[in-house]
Structure 1
Amino acid sequence: MLKTRVITAIVLLAVLVPITLFAPVGAFGALIGFVVVFAAWEWARLLKVGGAGPVAYAVFTALVLILSTFLGVAPKGLFQMAAIFWVLVGPFALLRKPVLATGLWQVFLLFAGIVVFVACWHALVAARTVGVAFVLSLLLVVWLADIGAYFAGKALGRHKLAPSISPGKTWEGAIGGWVAVIVIGSIAAASQVFAPTLFTAYVEHRGWLKALVALTVLVAFSVIGDLFESLMKRQASVKDSSGLLPGHGGVMDRIDALLPVLPIALLLLG
């Protein structure tokens, strides 16, 4: 399993890193488009859409994404709709745990998923347009929150965060992830390393206090995105969103926390 994980990681990095760092924005957008379409396919499968439904859903998501680009749809509107979903529906689903793959919930989440994925794509492309350091700093928020949560949870984890959804997550881990983001974000903002980054932009636009609050909000929603996918997988009785990434699960398993963070992060810039 470890060998498979390492090989998959190397292949992914060999593709993602050069395109992110050196390719034109259009090539970066095309790559992210493929990622988003595969995630949409997994989303439909987790919602138990049968037969060729998941493929049709992925194709439809791709068409909406392309149309939103050519028609010049204002990304901010998409970010706002995605944010409303994560602010209202995400916590409600985690608290009440409705059956997501049946009836009106399934229909609603299929429509909402298109907004979520298209907003995710526009957010990453907009961030890459600002610069490589900016888009990497946006991703770094989620990576730091995840890494901090892992090590803090392993060392200090005692109190379960959502035992019926993801038994391995703890409050101590979540706090550890928040501390990692705040510390590294503050250092990056104060030192102006690789500016402009998300961290320097928050301080410039909002001031230090509001910048720290904004980062706290992003960490909270990274947890919500992670738990929301965990709820979908638990209800679908699967461990991974798919087997597309050997040793790592599926695309959704890698981007679940990014889905709410990306649009909300850009909205918080004002």
Structure 2
Amino acid sequence: MLKQRILTAVGLLAILLPALLWRDTAPFAAVTAALMGAAAWEWGRLNGCSAAWLAGVAVAALPWLLWWFWGAAGWPPVLGAAVTVGWVVVLALTLHRGVDDWGRWPRRVRLAGGWLALACAWWAVVALHTRGPLMLLSVLLLVWVADIAAYFGGRAWGRRKLAPRISPGKSWEGAASGVVAVLALALAWMALSAVWPPARAALYPVLAQQGWLVALLALLGLTALSVAGDLFESLVKRSAGVKDSSGLLPGHGGVLDRIDALLPVLPAALTLLSLSGGDA
């Protein structure tokens, strides 16, 4: 299993890193569109869609075609705010009501909502990339650092379960560890930006320009969305009676298993940057 995980991770990095660091956004847009299409196929299967493959093609192709003809412009702040508020409402309702309630939502609503969320996340990740690889990397690192710190913090100190009926392994102590790690990341990035000017074109310096209180609240909100997005996918999988969203990534499960925490964070981060004047 470990060998599989390592080989899969190396293969993904070999594809994603060159696309991420490439100055032109087109290769990155193409690679991430394919990943979102795979995630859309997984979402369809998890929610009982008999033509999930068709949805995967549509979610991969239609946003990419729009981007190709229109360009990856950042959305108006009001639209980004609407997407983020929608995520907050859905996450609050589903996580509060639990696994058993998910199947009571109309299937068409579940399917359409998930596919729309994937399309919005793809547009956000491409728009962030157009602002520079470091801008996007700073957002991705927030989610990755929070997840890794939560895992190890939970293993070391976890006592109180965060959502035992959804994901028994997650704890409040782990979530707190993730918050601390994100704040440490932000401070480290700010220190780096003081001596390396290119690092200023990233999430943390842009938020800091609005004041430390605003930056703190924004980072707490993004971290909370990351944790909730992870829990949400666990809820959907538990409702479907499966462990992984698919077997597309040997040793890692499916694409959704790797991007679940990013889905609500990417649109929210893009919106915060738009409101903070970080569009350039």
TM-score (norm 1): 0.93
Structure 1 residues 60-90: Cα deviation after superposition (integer angstroms, max 9, x where no partner): 2234313542356863465334313211011
CA–CA distance in 1 between the matches of 2:56 and 2:79? 18
User: For 1:8, what is the secondary structure of its paired residue?
Assistant: helix
Aligned to 1:120: 121
Asked if residue 28 in structure 1 is aligned to residue 28 in structure 2, the reply is: yes
Contact 2:8/2:250, CA 8 A, preserved across alignment: yes
CA–CA distance in 2 between the matches of 1:8 and 1:134? 26
Cα offset, 1:23, TM superposition: 5.2
1:66-215 pair list within 5 angstroms: 66-69=64-67, 70=69, 75-76=75-76, 79-97=80-98, 98-101=100-103, 104=106, 106-192=107-193, 193=196, 194-204=199-209, 206-215=210-219
CA–CA distance in 2 between the matches of 1:33 and 1:251? 12
Gaps of 5+ in 1: none
Aligned to 2:222: 218
Give the letter for the 1:153 counterpart: G
Percent identity for Structure 1 against Structure 2:
47
Aligned to 1:253: 257
Instruction: Kindly tell me the number of residue pairs found equivalent between the two proteins.
Output: 266
Contact 1:46/1:236, CA 8 A, preserved across alignment: yes
Cα offset, 1:189, TM superposition: 2.1
CA–CA distance in 2 between the matches of 1:56 and 1:8? 26
Aligned to 2:63: 65
CA–CA distance in 2 between the matches of 1:122 and 1:78? 12
CA–CA distance in 1 between the matches of 2:125 and 2:9? 21
Structure 1 residues 202-250: Cα deviation after superposition (integer angstroms, max 9, x where no partner): 112x211111110000000001100000000001110000000000000
User: For 1:268, what is the secondary structure of its paired residue?
Assistant: helix
Aligned to 1:39: 39
CA–CA distance in 2 between the matches of 1:209 and 1:131? 26
User: For 2:102, what is the secondary structure of its paired residue?
Assistant: coil
Give the letter for the 1:223 counterpart: V
1:219-238 pair list within 5 angstroms: 219-238=223-242
Gaps of 5+ in 2: 276-280
CA–CA distance in 2 between the matches of 1:252 and 1:119? 15
Structure 1 residues 81, 114: CA separation in 2 closer, same or farther (over 3 Å shift)?
A: farther
Cα offset, 1:191, TM superposition: 3.6
Give the letter for the 2:64 counterpart: I
TM-score (norm 2): 0.90
CA RMSD across the alignment:
1.8
CA–CA distance in 1 between the matches of 2:134 and 2:74? 24
Aligned to 2:53: 55
Cα offset, 1:102, TM superposition: 5.2
CA–CA distance in 1 between the matches of 2:112 and 2:103? 13
Give the letter for the 2:249 counterpart: L
CA–CA distance in 2 between the matches of 1:15 and 1:62? 17
CA–CA distance in 2 between the matches of 1:78 and 1:256? 21
Cα offset, 1:198, TM superposition: 0.7
Give the letter for the 1:20 counterpart: L
